[in-house]
Amino acid sequence: MLAARTGQFRHIVFADALNGTGRAVNYSPPECRQAAGPPDRPQCGDDADFIRRLFRRLELCADDYRPESIQRRLAACLRALGVTNVVAARALLERQPRAVHVAARAVLIGVTSFFRDASVFDHLRNSVLPQISSSQRTIRVASIACSDGEELYSVAMLLAESRDLDRAHLHGSDVRADAIAHARRGCFDSEAIRAVPEILRRKYFMLDRWAGHWQISASIVRRTNWRVADMLKAHDPGPWDLILCRNVAMYLKPDLHGGLWARLAESLAPRGFLVLGKAERPVGARLRLRPVGPCIYRREA
C-alpha cells in the first residue's frame, strides 16, 4: 500500500494483486485525483498564454490559427525545447531568445518534400509548365509558406530540364527565418533528396562528404530568391504564372480562407496556375479559378 500525505492520509493506492500486472488502483476521493495528477501537465490557461507569447515573438497573431491545430503541436514543441511544461518553455525563451526558432519549427508545421505528390508534379511537368513557358517572357513562380524550399527547387529542376530556367524568376517566402535560411543555402540530407528522381539527383546535386549533406546546383540556387514574410500580412507582388501554397489554409481559421483565396487569385497572371493541398478548395465565384489537374487551379482570363 502506498499513501501520499496532504495534511492527512487521503490519497491511498493499493497494488492490484489479482492479475499480477502491478497495476495501481487509486481509491482517493474524486476531488483529490485531479490534484494528484501529473505535475508537469500544462494547464489550458498556461498553454494559451505561451502560444500567444510565442506567436508575438514571431510577429504573428495566434488568433489567426485554428487553436486545435496549434494545441496538437504543443507537446512536440516542448520536446524540441527539451522541457516538460510551458512554464519552463517560457523561461527558456526568456533566457535564450534564439530558441524561438526551434519552437516555431515545431509549432508551425512545415511539411514539404521534393516532388511532393507525384501526380501533381507529373501534371506540372507535362501540362502546366509547357503552357507557361510557351511565351517568351519571364516565367514567374512563387512558393508561399515554402518551408525549406524543396517544392520551389523541384519546379526549378523541371524548368532546367526544359531549358527555361534562365528566364525564370523563382521566389519563396515563409514566416520562419530558419526555414528561409535553410532554403537559401540549398543543402539537404540524404533522406530529403530521396524523392528526387535519380537522373535529376545526379545532374543537380553534389555530395559534400565533409559536411555530410547534398548541395543543390549553383545554377539552380542562383535563380531563386527567398524572404521571411507572413502571407496574411505581406503581399508578394505579382503577377505570378504559378503559385504553390499547399496545406496552409487548413491550419487557419475558416473565416480567413476567403481573404487568402482572393489574394492568391489576384496575384496570379491571367491564365496563371495555383497549386493547393489535397484538402483545400478555393471557393468563390469572383475568384475565377477552375480546377485543371490534381490540386491545380487556373485563373480564367
Q: Alpha-carbon Rg of the chain, whole angstroms? A: 25
pLDDT of residue 285: 58
pLDDT for 146: 93
Angstrom distance (rounded) from CA 197 to CA 179: 24
Number of helices (H), then strands (E), in the chain: 12, 13
Q: Is the pTM of this model over 0.75?
A: yes
Nearest-CA neighbor of 236 among 200, 263, 197? 263
Q: Quote the CA–CA distance of 192 and 171 in Å, as a whole number.
A: 20
What's the distance, Cα to Cα, between the start and end of the chain in Å? 77
Homologous superfamily (CATH) of 118-299 is Vaccinia Virus protein VP39 (3.40.50.150)
Are 268 and 235 within 8 A, CB to CB?
no
Per the document, the length of the chain is 301
Domain(s) labelled CATH 3.40.50.150 in the chain stretch across: 118-299
Tell which residue, 78, 160, 135, 101, has the closest CA to residue 270.
Answer: 135
Contact criterion met (CB below 8 Å) for 175 and 146: no
Distance (Å, rounded) from C-alpha 205 to C-alpha 197? 11
- CA separation for the pair 284, 263 (Å, rounded): 12
Whether the CB-CB separation of 15 and 60 falls below 8 Å is answered with no
Query: CB–CB of 220/160 below 8 Å?
Result: yes
pLDDT in tens, 82-99: 999 999 999 999 999 889
Q: What is the mean pLDDT of each run of 10 residues along the chain (301 residues)?
A: 42 39 41 38 69 88 88 90 93 91 82 91 97 92 94 98 96 92 94 94 92 92 94 81 92 90 92 94 82 94 73
For the stretch 139-166, pLDDT in tens is 999 999 999 999 999 999 999 999 999 9
Q: Count Cβ atoms below 10 Å from residue 167 Cβ, excluding itself.
A: 14
Closest by CA position to 216, among listed 142, 114, 84: 114
Q: Return the axis-axis angle of helices 44-57 and 100-107, rounded to nearest 10°.
A: 110
Residue type, 139: I
pLDDT at position 44, please? 56
- Supply 222's cell numbers: 542562383
Nearest by Cα to 225 from 285, 155, 143, 105: 143
Residue partners of 83: CB distance under 8 A and separation at least 6: 89, 92
**Peptide bond connecting 239 to the previous residue in cis, omega within 30 degrees of 0:** yes
Q: Are 295 and 243 in contact (CB under 8 A)?
A: no
Task: For residue 40, give the nearest of 79, 14, 72, 9 by alpha carbon.
Answer: 79
